[in-house]
Amino acid sequence: MDLIVIAILFFLLFLGLADNQMIAALLPALVKSLHIDVSTAGLLVVAYSVAAAVASFFSGTLSDHFGRRRFLLAGTAVFAGASWAAAESSTWNQLLLARALTGLAAGTLSTCSVTYAADWFAYNVRGRAIGLISTAYFAAPILGVPIAAQIADRFGWQRAFLFFGGLAAVCTLASLRLPPERLNPQPSSDKLRTAGRAFRSFLSRRDIVAALVISFLVSGGLVGFLTYIGEWLNTKYGLPTRTIGWVFMLGGCVAVATAPLGGILSDRFGKRAISIVSNVLLAVAVAFVPFFPWGIALLSVFGLASLGAAFRQGPLTALMTEMVPAAQRGSFIALRNIASQMGIGATAYVGGVLFQKSGYGAVTTLCAVMTAVVVLLLATHIVEPRGDENGAA
């Protein structure tokens, strides 16, 4: 049963991640088909992210009182319908609305997948479980995005959305196999009224505030580093898009292969310890990337950065899910996801300004410093929870 839970949650997370990331590949076709400029097309990503953040807030909070499983089922069903609507869109406004609706579903899936996994697996094995589930973060760009690009190239961008709609429908049926939740939440108006007090209590704890800052820095630092590396490789070394794609494929393969190992080691040596080591490795690798010429050395450093990012994903997520009581876990993960989205947006913007004025080295310096601050906060503000021994092994 544990393997079934891991497989289903992996595909639910993969669904939203790949669907969002494929927009970069579809952008040229969308611009041409809908007669819009690139900046306007970029609003698809903004609408998706804002909707996902809103959905994370509400689904995380409400799932503490009504259960995660029903939100996962509803999220995949809405995702399927919204993707079908996107495939049927013939105007910019129709597509924008459909993508916002898809973002609502994706935010729900992201938040409730993690909280369901945390509820189901005991802390002493949670690193391994979430490490396997979180390979979806790295499988999406090396599997989902190329598939969507090929479909769009051969059959049109509408068919790419239809493909993900069909995948969502399959995931909806698969989600029916998720076992009943162990928390057995009991909804009540009194519990709902306590949600606001729960959020205030989070912000009164130094470790929780530090965890939210860590989420901001972790997501922002990694996305900022990756967002502009392609443009740097093109402008400095003249690499074509196809070659840059292979560079990302290399990093994705390294990440997919090593993410489960990071979770396994964290269950043995501690989530906090592995998270610290992984972030140290990532910070050093990111800082040195701009100083290497194109070739094996640069690819090796980029591979080390991918290794650090993958190794920390499972341990860090497992660590944070144990920082609050299980009954408040959804609300906390919602806040964490919102902090992550804010970090991505802020760093992408600041990184663009730095890249334009000072080059890619300024961007990697910012991202390396952000990752180093994560190490400092983990070492000074986060304590390894003891966890309970209940749950699946």
What are the pLDDT digits (tens) for 249-280? 788 788 888 888 888 888 888 889 999 999 99
> What is the spatial distance between Cα 201 and Cα 122, in angstroms, rounded to a whole number?
24
Per-residue burial over 78-101, b = 16 or more CB atoms within 10 Å of its CB, e = otherwise: bbbbbbbbbbebeebeebbbbbbb
CATH 1.20.1250.20 residue window(s) in the chain: 1-179, 201-384
SS3 121: strand
Q: What is the distance between the alpha carbons of residues 301 and 291, in angstroms, rounded to a whole number?
A: 10
- The predicted pLDDT at position 225 comes to 87
Q: Hey, what CATH topology would domain 201-384 get?
A: Growth Hormone; Chain: A; (1.20.1250)
**pLDDT tens sequence across 126-156:** 888 888 888 887 787 777 767 777 788 788 8
Residue 38: is its pLDDT beyond 70? no
Number of Cβ within a 10 Å radius of residue 65: 19
Residue 144 DSSP class: I
Residue 244's φ and ψ, nearest 5 degrees, are -60, -40
**108 Cβ neighbours under 8 A, 6+ residues apart:** 55, 56, 59, 71, 72, 74, 75, 78
Confidence of residue 194 (pLDDT cuts 50, 70, 90): low
Which CATH number is 1-179's, of 1.20.1250.20, 3.40.640.10, 1.20.58.760, 3.30.70.100? 1.20.1250.20
pTM score of the predicted model: 0.75
d(CA 229, CA 389) in angstroms, rounded, equals: 43
Helices (H) and strands (E) in the chain, counts: 18, 0
Give the residue among 28, 24, 48 at the shortest CA–CA distance from 37. Answer: 28
